[in-house]
Structure 1
Amino acid sequence: MDRDIRIWRHLCIDMQRLFAEETPWHVGWAHRVLPAVERLSRAAPEKTIFTRFLPPRSASAAPGMWRQYYEKWWMMTGEHVDPALLDLVAPLESLTPPAIVFDKTVYSPWLDGRLHRHLVEQGVGTLAISGGETDVCVLATVLGAVDLGYRIILLKDGVCSGSDPTHDASLAVIGGRFSVQAEVMETDDFIDRFARPLTSLSTS
């Protein structure tokens, strides 16, 4: 099926309790950007896709360099972390369904092909991307989406990181070096242009 840039989905990356609460992976900005993420998610829950990052059961179960990563972060593996922390934060969890969830075990949501196949089946050509972290999982999502040919709108006030310098650098790189495929936009501007019933570019 051909993809149409008028058909869009909101792809929200890893807005989970694991990162919003006081854990070793806590991202302080998560609560700051949550209102913007929630506004768009509630404006079009049927067009919203949440991803969740799921650690392995143990470091020994992780492949390649991920094993060393989880030897460092052993306390975040499945045998130690509270499974409830893998859930989406409460305001977003309540939107599923109609919003849907794709789980992943690496930074990128594209690796196993399921998400891309789902979007292609829906004819989706444009992705509005929110969530965290800007310079890790969001960046991996954007770069993969570029390679797969999507039009990308990165929601400036809807992405978060634990590092201000690399957050800012990521926004600059995405909005500058990838300016043909990607643009950086405020969430309310996106809602006004795409998600309000009278101005939506597509009902699909």
Structure 2
Amino acid sequence: MCDSWIHLCIDMQRMFAEQTPWHVPWMATVSPQIVELAGRYPERTIFTRFMPPPTADAMPGMWKNYYKKWPMMTGEHLLPELMDIVADLKSFVPPARIFNKRTYSPWFDGQLHEILTREKVETIVITGGETDICVLAAALGAVDLGYRVILLKDAVCSSADETHDATLELLGGRFSVQVEITETDAFLSDL
């Protein structure tokens, strides 16, 4: 493994870990692997946070419809502390960094790519949730930008088992040249 890698941990936030309409029960299962990686390499870790808008009307296009379906998850109803990283990971910040995003993909506005380009990052190690939504968007965006992607299958989760499994199969099959799927222990032992 080269020195030019970062750990991109996707949306390990209280609003997904706790009892909200967006609760992801599997987060508790994958958290120990993420804590292990982030704890060993906090300076190489970037936590993304999916930040809902204040109101549905604050978003463009179909995002407005999305938040009209989930009004309880907008800033006017959601407790601000629920948008924060879960406690087990928050202690790593700093030196770990936080990157806020309003869409599924952390690449949308170009800022994250700009930072990683300046830092000469070549490999993105992905953990977090949800496998079939924000993790998928992060992985495909990283592929499009030319990064080597390593997805830790025991450190990603979803609230939907069927699409979690299908996404791992898709990324490991159709994108096998650009995406490597492995487990946390195997990745750490290769460093």
Please give the TM-score of this superposition, normalised by the length of structure 2: 0.98
* Matched length: 191
| Aligned counterpart for 2:160 among listed residues 158, 163, 178 | 163
Aligned to 2:136: 139
- Secondary structure at the aligned position of 1:154 is classed as strand
| Aligned AA (1:167) | H
| Aligned counterpart for 1:11 among listed residues 3, 8, 11 | 8
1:170 to partner: Cα distance = 0.3
1:62 to partner: Cα distance = 1.0
1:51 to partner: Cα distance = 0.2
Aligned to 1:154: 151
- Secondary structure at the aligned position of 1:124 is classed as coil
- Secondary structure at the aligned position of 2:122 is classed as strand
Aligned to 1:198: none
Runs of 4+ in 1 over 2 A off after TM superposition: none
Aligned to 2:95: 98
| Aligned AA (2:59) | A
Which runs of 5 or more structure 2 residues have no equivalent in the other structure? none
1:192 to partner: Cα distance = 1.1
Distance 1:142 1:60 in 2: 29
| Aligned counterpart for 2:122 among listed residues 122, 125, 144 | 125
Distance 2:116 2:89 in 1: 21
1:158 to partner: Cα distance = 0.3
Aligned to 1:199: none
Distance 1:76 1:46 in 2: 31
| Aligned AA (1:181) | Q
Distance 1:182 1:5 in 2: 16
Superposed, which structure 2 residues align to 1:69-88 within 5 Å? 69-88=66-85
- Work out whether 1:65 is the aligned partner of 2:62: yes
* Percentage of pairs with the same residue: 60
1:89 to partner: Cα distance = 0.3
Aligned to 1:113: 110
